[in-house]
Amino acid sequence: MKNIIFIAPPAAGKGTISEYLVKNYKYEHLSTGEMLRDEIKSNSELGCQINELISKGNLVSDELITKLVEDRLKDLVKGKPFILDGFPRTLPQALSLDEVLKKYNITNNIVIYLDIKEDEALKRVLGRVICAKCKRTYNLNNENLKPKVEGICDDCGATLEKRSDDNAETFKVRFETYLKSTKPILDFYKDKNWLVSLEVSDNLNELLDKVINISNKNEAKND
């Protein structure tokens, strides 16, 4: 199966899709959000700086994110498919990632753009909760994505938490930033013939089928 680079605004569903691919197709999930949150939880000086940026809806520097991603990619078992979730978010990041992929001879890549309307994305953000232990994502505003027991993870029984940046004010900044930075990235991957766009709806199973089909069959020209 192909390596997948997800490009999507907040709450488009890339985390939920990634969880499914990891569980059923043995993908390695590389989430820059998780990398950054782990650094924040370490209470390091860098973690405090990152926390301040993220809490305001701003982006961390391209150099820092690229370094985090490169360190993870070079340690992957060769041939194991991976998902890049949350990176790249700017054209400079996309160009840097291209160099990293060439450096480690990582081919067979596809870019999937999840297109979602702002009002639907906000609804999802306000209902999102995440397992503190295994990081599974749930949504209280979607009957199909609610936990079986309120506040408890179905998989490991740990407590569910709401991310500090999942609020309307921060979401607006994040979404506007996303819109400004995304078009050049989409154009870049379209020119490389890597890009596939999918419209997001409430039918999760249908969306999953499309992603799996793309990963299995769609030809991506890596140059």
pLDDT, tens only, 108-122: 999 999 998 888 889
Residue 118 confidence (pLDDT):
87
C-alpha 25/C-alpha 160 separation (Å) is 25
Q: Where do the domains of the chain lie? A: 3-116+173-217
pLDDT value of residue 183: 86
- Phi, psi for residue 197 in degrees, rounded to 5: -105, 135
pLDDT tens-digit series, residues 195-207: 999 998 778 889 9
pTM equals 0.75
pLDDT digits (tens, 9 = 90+) for 10-65: 788 888 899 899 999 999 999 887 888 887 888 888 788 888 887 887 778 888 88
Q: How far is Cα 76 from Cα 100, in angstroms, rounded to an integer? A: 13
Query: Bridge-partner residues for 199, per DSSP?
Result: 115
Neighbours of 45 (CB within 10 A): 8
Q: Which residues are catalytic?
A: 14, 89, 128, 163, 174
Q: Which residues of 155-177 are buried (b: 16+ CB within 10 A; e: fewer)?
A: eeeeebeeeebbeeebbeebbeb
| 3-116+173-217 CATH choice from 3.40.1260.10, 3.40.50.300, 3.40.50.10800, 1.10.10.10 | 3.40.50.300
Residue 222 — pLDDT band, cuts 50, 70, 90? low
